[in-house]
Amino acid sequence: MNSKLNPESFLYPSSIREAQSWQEILARKIKIMPLEKIPQFIAAADASFLPSRVLAVACLFRFPELKLVETAVADEPLFFPYRPGFLSFCEGPAVFRAINSLKKKPELLLFDGQGIAHPRRLGLASFLGLLLETPSIGCAKSILVGDYSPPGPEAGSTSELYYRGEIVGYVLRSRWRVKPIIISPGHLIDASSALKIIISCLKGYRIPEPLRLAHQQSVRLKTLKK
């Protein structure tokens, strides 16, 4: 980890006000840049909830063949209740633990959430990408901020997502006439590189295969924990 940034110091805010302040501080450390190299191993993470706990699963895949090679889980108390724009502090600690429990460090992270397409430019993908010092991509099912023109109905159609005059990601039609997904860079990657990675992870479903499989594992874990 970066000696100048202690991840544990930013996982457990005491209030919404403190969480927002931390987002503003950390957002200034986010680096949006072309991906330096094609990863050999990527991880996708997903979380599910019990009444007072967060269950997280991190799945490591060999890229680009997307072969599952390792899975790690974490079970954490629900410390911070969900609020729009603050998903990082709700499921972030458990997801952070799960990813850190992988025996092999991933070279790129995929999250079911936003990257910089966020009111304070620090969605879940940006937050955890920064704390884990790993390139990261947000792949969300719905938009949080920004404007775009609807992409065409064909699979693979895209349109730019703009927020405050800047391209903060892409809207991608991953299957014919299905609702598009929102792709935004998290940290140490740019929007075009993030889009290319996500397209390469599509296997005929709306959701990229690594995230789809991580979600399945998360649902199974929740069933076992009930």
| H/E element, 26 | helix 16-27
The yes-or-no verdict on residue 224 having pLDDT over 80 is yes
pLDDT tens, position by position, 114-149: 999 999 999 999 999 999 999 999 999 999 999 999
Band (4; pLDDT cuts 50, 70, 90): low
- The mean-pLDDT minimum among 3-7, 84-88, 103-107 falls in 3-7
The yes-or-no verdict on residue 86 having pLDDT over 70 is yes
**pLDDT at residue 3 in the model:** 46
Band (157; pLDDT cuts 50, 70, 90): very high
Band (177; pLDDT cuts 50, 70, 90): confident
* Tally of CB atoms within 10 A around 17: 9
| CATH number of the 7-146+181-225 domain | 3.30.2170.10
Boundaries of every domain in the chain: 7-146+181-225
In the DSSP assignment, the letter for residue 75 is E
CB 80 within 8 A of CB 73: no
**pLDDT at residue 97 in the model:** 97
Band (2; pLDDT cuts 50, 70, 90): very low
Q: What's the token pair of residue 108?
A: 């790129």
The yes-or-no verdict on residue 1 having pLDDT over 50 is no
pLDDT tens, position by position, 5-27: 788 899 999 999 999 999 999 99
The yes-or-no verdict on residue 226 having pLDDT over 50 is yes
- Per-residue pLDDT, averaged over 173-178, amounts to 94
pTM: 0.95
User: Which letter, b or e, does each residue of 126-162 get, where b requires 16 or more Cβ atoms within 10 Å of its Cβ?
Assistant: bbbbbbbebbbbbbbeebbbbebeebeeebeebbbbb
